[in-house]
Amino acid sequence: MNKKQAVQVKKWGSPSLGRQMAVNIYGSGGTPVLAFPDFNGKASDYKTLGFLDQISEQLENQFNRFYCVSSVDKDVFSTVASNPEGRLGLYIQYENYILDEVIPFIKDHSGNEYLIVTGVGMGAYHALNFAFKHPEMVNKVLAACGRYNIKPFFDGYFSDLLYYNNPVEYFPNLNDQEIIDRIKRLDIRIITNNKDPHRAEAEMISDALNDKWIHHSLDLWEVPDKCSHSDYSRMLRNHIP
């Protein structure tokens, strides 16, 4: 990466999570993009895994600036058999970290109120779920090859908290017109592919959006094997501008 794509790292002790968290920033100007990593990913993943390779022009010409966060997926989704209520509580703490700490930081740092959120794999879940729950905070969401049913991580456990954070359950049943109208103002891009094991979940979300007359894009890619890091980089190139 050239000098304009060098990383700037901001760290602070998160009051929401009670741990130190980092935001890795790539680019020096333009529309901000909040980027969630794949399962249990780190803030550095977008650079080290090559996710930014296909959008170097966007970064170099100050069209976009990426704000990449780490996840807490290992503690929320990995230990399937243990303490589901506590793990869901940690997910809400993470959501509050994004809502109350990261987004205010991004808006202050970038000087831009327009916000794109994106993610791949489990990061797509975080991006889409956040956009559906807080549409007033987001303008555009790009969710690539996501997993939108989190029930398998909770081994038969059920609660309202799980239901209202599981998009394939709560979103088709959403009937609050005020919230639907807020979601309608979003630019929603859902990407899946012919090898995606969770393609049906993406299509289910798309069907629910159609049922609510919410305009969006469902982009089906043809890939020879499972979606690669370079595939996701090209998805960003196609949908971020």
DSSP per-residue codes, 57-107: HHHHTTSEEEEEE---HIIIII-TTS-HHHHHHHHHHHHHHIIIIIHHHHH
Tell me the β-bridge partners of 31.
Answer: 64
Report pTM.
0.95
Tell me the β-bridge partners of 236.
Answer: none
Please list, residue by residue across 49-77, b when 16 or more beta carbons sit within 10 angstroms of its beta carbon and e when fewer do: bebbbbbbebbeeeebbbbbbbbbbebbb
Residue-level pLDDT at 190: 98
Residue percentage of the chain with pLDDT more than 90: 86
Tell me the helices (H) and strands (E) count for the chain, helix number first: 11, 8
The stretch 80-109 carries a mean pLDDT of 95
Mean pLDDT of the chain, nearest integer: 94
Residue-level pLDDT at 82: 84
Q: How confident is the model at residue 149 (pLDDT cuts 50, 70, 90)?
A: very high
The stretch 39-54 carries a mean pLDDT of 93
The encoded tokens of residue 137 equal 């905070």
Contact 120, 33 (CB under 8 A): no
Residue-level pLDDT at 241: 80
The closest alpha carbon to 205, from 135, 139, 125, 151, belongs to: 125
Instruction: Pick 3-239's CATH classification: 3.40.50.10490, 3.40.50.1820, 3.40.228.10, 3.40.50.720.
Output: 3.40.50.1820
Q: What is d(CA 75, CA 86) in angstroms, rounded to the nearest whole number?
A: 10
Tell whether the torsion through CA atoms of 46, 235, 226 and 190 is positive or negative: positive
The stretch 208-230 carries a mean pLDDT of 91
- Reduced to 3 states (helix: H, G, I; strand: E, B; else coil), residue 140 is strand
Does residue 5 have a pLDDT over 70?
no
Give 19-29 pLDDT, tens digit per residue. 999 999 999 99
Does residue 1 have a pLDDT over 60?
no
Rg of the chain over Cα atoms, rounded to whole angstroms, equals 17
Q: What is d(CA 164, CA 175) in angstroms, rounded to the nearest whole number?
A: 13
